[in-house]
């Protein structure tokens, strides 16, 4: 019969790849209630602990009282409200670029930027481990699409030699499942030598990276000449929702005129923009958040090494524990949950086959004591998983 959905679902279960949505019954934070169970969570992208910050909540409330709830229309009709405009100006200042353009989601921002810049007769080259939204954008653009080896400037150079038309090199800033950084200096130099533009999706870099939280371009000291197209999301370290593209005036006008995901969608609620303005203020002012987060990252890596866990090469709040087998990753996650610790198991196709992992994410909202509890629980659960291995 056509559309045999049950067989597809059964196969996914048999491969230990079936996904289920945990129901969060409290606001984001280290201590949460999920599916009726009180847990200590290490799986949120709320890196700076701003998603439930009282000042951000107050800004959202005041914004709703002043500007209402819905955006009402697309930005180009009558949905571009004053808070949207003020947030775009603040993000431009934050990134040190002439302008920024606001989007409702990071997926939309990536689709918009790639498809507006390249098409048939052009080339788009992407890192093999790029986020799904970037890969989808490259495929949908109609340009000649090629993927270079992860973080490999030499592999990129070989593909650039075969590129045609306008050429866009696209990479994550921080790779969301590994936590490692793009080698932007080498990638940008390689692209510049061949007159290609570089686009960076720094969804996970803004906030944790850089002296002022300006992300990977600030971390490496790169400007708009090296990275003409810079994308950031607002639902992670900013603690709210939405995304933006920052760059030149000509780039912003090009997106406004040609980017279908921008033109044909309703703007985000203006109150969310008000909340993001407050979150941006806190991100820039409260440096202690990054400092505390960096101490937690260093302590976690030392503790995990002592336990004998296999970590990825990550200096960021994303600290994956490589397990390999999907069933074992699920089992380790379940053992931790039995001790009141919530860490999600990440399996294919999100990550390559044979590289299932637990994706630990740290937040400035976590305390030192909570991190020590995670490490103690990991030591006990890893030991138990190792004992079970011969019988798996």
CA–CA–CA angle 57, 52, 330 (5° rounding): 150
- Return d(Cα 236, Cα 243) in angstroms, integer: 10
Q: What CATH number was assigned to the domain covering residues 5-41+287-391?
A: 3.90.1150.10
Token duo for residue 226: 């090296």
What are the tens digits of pLDDT across the range 4-60?
999 999 999 998 888 889 999 999 999 999 999 999 999 999 999 999 999 999 999
State the pairing for strand pair 123-127/144-148: parallel
Burial of 284 (0-12, 13-18, 19+ CB in 10 A): middle
Task: Give the model's confidence band at 299: pLDDT under 50 very low, under 70 low, under 90 confident, else very high.
Answer: very high
The residue extents of the domains of the chain are: 5-41+287-391, 54-285
Residue 73 above 90 pLDDT?
Answer: yes
Peptide bond into 349 cis (omega under 30): yes
163 within 8 A of 144, measured Cβ to Cβ: yes
50 within 8 A of 283, measured Cβ to Cβ: yes
Asked if CATH classification 2.40.400.10 holds for the domain at 54-285, the reply, yes or no, is no
- Return d(Cα 29, Cα 363) in angstroms, integer: 9
Token duo for residue 369: 């004591």
Q: What is the mean pLDDT of residues 289-300?
A: 98
Token duo for residue 336: 């931790």
114 within 8 A of 138, measured Cβ to Cβ: yes
- Return d(Cα 223, Cα 237) in angstroms, integer: 22
Token duo for residue 202: 């720094």
What are the tens digits of pLDDT across the range 257-272?
999 999 999 999 999 9
Please tell me whether the overall predicted TM-score, pTM, comes out greater than 0.85 for this model.
yes
Enzyme catalytic residues: 176, 204, 236
């Amino acid at each position: 019969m056509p559309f045999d959905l049950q067989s597809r679902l059964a196969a996914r279960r048999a491969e230990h790849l079936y996904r289920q949505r945990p129901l969060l019954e409290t606001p984001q934070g280290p201590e949460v209630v999920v599916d009726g169970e009180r847990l200590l969570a290490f799986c949120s992208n709320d890196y700076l602990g701003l998603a439930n910050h009282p000042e951000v909540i107050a800004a959202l409330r005041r914004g709703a009282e002043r500007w209402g709830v819905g955006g009402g229309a697309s930005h180009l009709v009558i949905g571009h409200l004053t808070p949207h405009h003020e947030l775009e100006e603040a993000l431009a200042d934050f990134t040190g670029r002439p302008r920024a353009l606001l989007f409702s989601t990071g997926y939309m921002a990536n689709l918009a930027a790639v498809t507006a810049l390249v098409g048939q007769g052009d080339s788009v080259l992407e890192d093999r481990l790029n986020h799904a939204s970037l890969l989808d954008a490259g495929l949908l653009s109609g340009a000649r699409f090629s993927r270079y080896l992860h973080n490999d400037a030499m592999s990129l150079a070989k593909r650039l030699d075969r590129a045609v038309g306008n050429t866009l090199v696209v990479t994550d800033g921080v790779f969301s499942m590994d936590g490692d950084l793009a080698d932007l200096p080498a990638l940008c130099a390689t692209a510049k030598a061949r007159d290609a533009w570089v686009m960076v999706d720094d969804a996970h870099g803004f906030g944790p990276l850089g002296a002022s939280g300006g992300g990977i371009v600030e971390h490496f000291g790169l400007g708009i000449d090296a990275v003409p197209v810079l994308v950031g999301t607002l639902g992670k370290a900013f603690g709210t929702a939405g995304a933006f593209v920052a760059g030149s005036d000509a780039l912003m006008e090009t997106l406004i005129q040609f980017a279908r995901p921008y033109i044909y969608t309703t703007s985000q609620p203006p109150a969310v923009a008000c909340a993001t303005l407050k979150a941006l203020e806190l991100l820039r002012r409260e440096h202690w958040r990054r400092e505390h987060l960096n101490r937690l990252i260093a302590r976690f890596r030392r503790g995990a090494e002592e336990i004998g866990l296999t970590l990825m090469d990550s200096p960021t709040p994303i600290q994956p524990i490589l397990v390999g087998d999907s069933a074992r990753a699920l089992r380790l996650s379940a053992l931790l949950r039995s001790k009141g610790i919530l860490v999600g198991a990440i399996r294919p196709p999100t990550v390559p086959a044979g590289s299932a992992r637990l994706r630990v994410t740290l937040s400035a909202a976590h305390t030192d004591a909570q991190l020590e509890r995670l490490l103690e629980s990991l030591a006990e659960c890893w030991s138990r998983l190792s004992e079970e291995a011969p019988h798996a």
